[in-house]
Structure 1
């Protein structure tokens, strides 16, 4: 029977239980011995803490694999089969995903689909969330939504690629559990800093190109989201032509220089309906078409110049790239490097922050959204709520 007293909640927090739980989430393949070494716990303490977390249905342990060596191998820490879950709702420009995710990031169930770009998609997505709550009951502890747009609180204030303005995601919130909403590029950057190409670095600047540029600065594993949650809208910095109007309402945005809209202008084509698809087509043609190659190089150079400006301002250890930014870097590496280095202050050029492609790819936003939800759950308050039943 699950503990329900205040005493049991306090016991969970004692002797590093919360630290072990967070470690198990961040390192899903770790063993009990790994956690013991990383957290400075004795073998006995690690065993005792793990036993209490298992009794509270927070952690499970897999039987250790036989290695043929001496001694008894340490069991791996896993999500408890009856433990807490989060629901992630991922809304991209054309598609959606709804997933139930356990401690450590494992996906238990996932539904996917396409949408037309209308905000009407929120209602059926709320139905998927409600179905997960009906299936998992109190195990479902939070809903975390990631959206390809600018967010403030639980509202999408603008999503140019979908034509959204001031769309509330409150319908996704079931009774009794929190709803968290974040920009997809920012959440991908959080995941990349913690679990991907930026893992192990203290200050990570993440940039992605889809329709424009998004990203986030992550410091000590925490995203710099700003006062209202809209931090990381790097694409709306005035790194572009001030004569060009951006759908955001500003002029000269960097967004307009690095995606399919910039490539279409370079090729004297009309503005594309879908900048991401248009960019992909031009990048694919660059191997054999000199005009396409020049258009890609122009976008890559503009991306590099903005990267250099942000490196000057934010002083990251590393810059990570995802989305079409990876394709730009692979297709026109010389142009990207030229733009990056010429924008850097002189003293930075000898050892500029390295630029690394994403290792999480399209799974980044989903992973970041799940981690954001578990950040709320893996706290003293979150454990109190779980143990109260």
Structure 2
């Protein structure tokens, strides 16, 4: 009866029985993706992203745009409207989430601290603005690294990994910690705020106002300063330009070597505390590849305290700047997949 109701609601579909099964063959049931979707968004310093994910886990739409300001709420709402029109037309939106480079309180709605975003992002303003766009849909707000880590664990470079650490590679540096497919958030939900660890250049000024933070040595702006190149419209475009220049410019390669060493220092510290099996590097790190990974690996080998420690495998993100939006969309489906929402009613 339950399966019949879900099938009538176009939430599941029965498939053909599997060959070779003994006894009376059962009919496997699979989730359908033609009616129910979720919306995932990301607001970052210099870009906004949107992903529409269907109930079967397929991405119906993914888009990233340059942001005009570091709190481009209008740009976020515009990409959200376009994503709904192009990727969710005729579908029921079950949930929505927005990822931000910030500390988010345990209510999954309130931004507590967003040092890299301008005034106006803190509090519940983002959630309320999206509430108006999606009446009747619960909108959650989450840390961008946590969302990206969740996406990598379910769709990307950390799939099948029991314990993974994800590092963002944008203006800020954050971490998402994944254990057995679930994000570890800590007592107050603030775990992973690694960008402000005192690692690297002790004189470098951070966006938080202090000196010596890790992201002031390995964040996007720090990397561009190290190689003497300008910022382009998104982190990926900036990094692609740097990688192209590095092929012929030894000064650029030397700058990336310094960034890679400071990256390795932080990973060594986190590895000693968390013992991850895999570290996934997202954002601008992906186009640079071994230009930063090789010095990071060497530094990691030098800094691990004991030969008994296993160096985590460093992997590049396979999801690009859409990782956090994809993770936000996936997390928005959580209550549905946990059986907390009835899909058999009208709507």
Give the TM-score taking structure 2 as reference length: 0.80
Residues 366 and 271 from structure 1, CA distance in 2 versus in 1: closer, same or farther, beyond 3 angstroms? closer
After superposition, the C-alpha distances for 1:244-291 in whole angstroms (9 at most, x for unaligned) are 321113331110111343345545x59969794655443322221111
> Which residue does 2:114 correspond to in 1?
158
Structure 2 CA distance for aligned equivalents of residues 262 and 113 of structure 1 = 22
C-alpha displacement of 1:312: 0.5
Pick aligned residue for 2:59 from 75, 86, 107: 107
Q: Which has the higher contact order (CA 8 A, sep 6+)?
A: 2
Cα contact 1:119–1:164 (8 A) shared by 2: no
For 1:42, the equivalent position in structure 2 comes to none
Does the 8 Å CA contact 2:47/2:234 hold for their aligned counterparts? no
Checking the alignment, whether the CA contact within 8 Å between 2:206 and 2:213 is kept in structure 1 is yes
- C-alpha deviation, 1:388, in angstroms: 4.6
Alignment check: 8 A CA contact 2:51 2:329 kept: no
The structure carrying a bigger helix percent of its residues is 1
- Structure 1 equivalent of residue 181 of structure 2: 221
Alignment of 1:281-320 (within 5 A): 281-320=241-280
Shift of 1:302: 1.0
User: Alignment partner for residue 387 of structure 1, among 340, 344, 347?
Assistant: 344
Query: Aligned match of 2:320 in 354, 357, 361?
Result: 361
SS in 2 for 1:346: coil
SS in 1 for 2:242: helix
1:247 counterpart residue number: 207
Is the contact made by 1:259 and 1:279 (CA closer than 8 Å) also made in structure 2?
A: no
1:58 and 2:17 correspond:
no
**What residue is the counterpart of 2:98 in the other structure?**
145
Equivalents in 2 of 1:133, 1:216: separation in Å?
28
1:203 matched to which residue of 2? Answer: 163
Residue in 2 that maps onto 1:176:
136
Secondary structure in structure 1 of the residue aligned to 2:173: strand
Q: Is the 8 A contact 1:207 1:325 kept in 2?
A: no
SS at structure 2 position matched to 1:201: coil
The 8 Å contact of residues 261 and 275 in structure 1, kept in 2 or not, is answered as no
1:92 shift after superposition: 3.9
Which of 89, 94, 119 in structure 1 is aligned with 2:41? 89
Cα displacement string for residues 108-165 of structure 1 (whole angstroms, at most 9, x for unaligned residues): 456765431243415545755886999557x222111123444444344326266764
* Offset from partner CA, 1:140-191 (integer Å, 9 cap, x none): 2211112344444434432626676426212102332211112333211111
Deviations 1:44-64 (A, max 9, x none): xxxxxx555424432124679
Secondary structure of the structure 2 residue equivalent to 1:298: helix
Within 1, Cα distance between the matches of 2:241 and 2:63? Answer: 28
Post-superposition offset of 1:372: 0.4
**Counterpart for residue 32 of structure 1:** none
Distance 1:281 1:310 in 2: 29
Q: Distance in 2 between matches of 1:272 and 1:129?
A: 27
What is aligned with 1:238?
198
CA shift for structure 1 position 77? 2.4
Offset, 1:374:
1.2
TM-aligned CA deviation for residue 292 of structure 1: 0.8
- Output the CA distance in 2 between the equivalents of 1:123 and 1:332: 35
Whether the aligned pair in 1 keeps the contact of 2:148 and 2:327 (CA below 8 Å) is yes
1:339 lines up with 2:292 in the alignment:
no
Structure 1 unaligned regions, length at least 5? 1-10, 13-49, 67-71
| Aligned residue number for residue 22 of structure 1 | none
Cα–Cα, structure 1 residues 263 and 127, in superposed 2: closer, same or farther, change >3 Å? closer
Distance in 2 between residues matched to 1:244 and 1:303, nearest whole Å: 15
Report the counterpart of residue 8 of structure 1 in structure 2: none
Aligned-partner Cα distance in 2 for 1:126–1:86: 11
Q: State which of 327, 334, 339 in structure 2 corresponds to 1:375.
A: 334
Residues 363, 64 of structure 1: CA spacing in aligned structure 2 closer, same or farther, 3 A cutoff?
farther
Name the Cα RMSD after superposition.
3.6
Deviation at 1:94, TM superposition (A): 3.7
Distance 1:61 1:159 in 2: 49
